Amino acid sequence: MKDKFSIAIHGGAGTISRKNLTPENQKMYFDAMSDAVNAGIDILKNGGSSLDAVERAVISLEDVPCFNAGKGSVFTNNGIHEMDAAIMSGDTLEAGAVAGVKKVRNPVSLARAVMEKSNHVFLSADGAEEFARSLGLRFEEDEYFYSEIRHNQWKEIEGTDAIRLDHSEPNKFGTVGAVAMDMNGNLAAATSTGGITNKKFGRIGDSPIIGAGTYANNRTCAISCTGHGEFFIRAVVAYDISCLMEYKGLSLQQAAELVVNDKLFKFGGDGGLIAVDSKGNISMPYNSEGMYRAYSNEKGVIRCAIFSEELNI
């Protein structure tokens, strides 16, 4: 296992139209994903932890406006941004999560702070923000999170009861996440999202819920999900894959494919996930039209894809 490591990231899954994806846009997304993978690889190749790698990769994705997390988060029905995130260590099974936080520049870092600097796993809204301020975490003004594309998406359905998955139409891309295995064989997973456009009542999806959208266990795998969160919660997707591996002896690929393309698909769950097992094997199944995804390992080659192109995993 020594000197072996791997990392995978995603930027959302859904109905992504090939005809509306220009070469310029594709390059922008591939560049952003490559930057995120490189951020994680720089840590892993120097013997750093998988936990540091997934946090750093997700920060990279939160800091660009082209994905629905951090800077690129969608608007709620009140015209604000409410963000969710989670992180988990496969070595200790420690986890941290936040939901409904506003103006926090990097929600994934707040999730990690919950894990490491509190006695809790999950904090929400005002309390999570108070905790962030007590630690001196970085906040930004509303203007930082504003993008014309996201604002136009919201204005199209403002004042209605409609909601819109950020990845369901052209230029509406999604939740971000990262999974990694480091040189010590430790696994970690992290996920971050702005939720769904025009959401009401403090809606929370699967991303910050340990076992649904995010999970890591050195005995099995690390998982980060993206898609229609309500279905991923009901199916307890991330933990289900781990259980199939631990208790039924399925491989990572077998377990991930079974959950995403059979169990989840059969009752209407749309989306996908990225996963890595304790040997560094990677799986990235999805049942939607496309999923923004990329991976690399100790060989140093970064591979990115959106549609069904073979990534030679």
What is the set of active-site residues?
175
- The b/e string for 205-219 (b: 16+ C-beta within 10 A; e otherwise) is bbbbbbbbbbbbbbe
Q: Cβ-count burial of 184 within 10 angstroms (0-12 exposed, 13-18 middle, 19+ buried)?
A: middle
What are the angstrom distances between the C-alpha of 27 and each of 35, 65, 87, 168? 12, 14, 28, 20
- For 88, the 3-state DSSP assignment is strand
- The b/e string for 245-254 (b: 16+ C-beta within 10 A; e otherwise) is beeeebebbe
Answer yes or no: are the C-beta atoms of 53 and 71 closer than 8 Å: no
Answer yes or no: are the C-beta atoms of 258 and 250 closer than 8 Å: yes
Edge-to-edge order in the sheet of strand 214-216:
214-216, 221-227, 271-277, 282-283
What are the angstrom distances between the C-alpha of 189 and each of 3, 21, 97, 100, 214? 20, 29, 12, 20, 6
Reading the block at residue 195, the tokens are: 């939720």
Give the Cβ contact number of residue 60 at 10 Å.
23
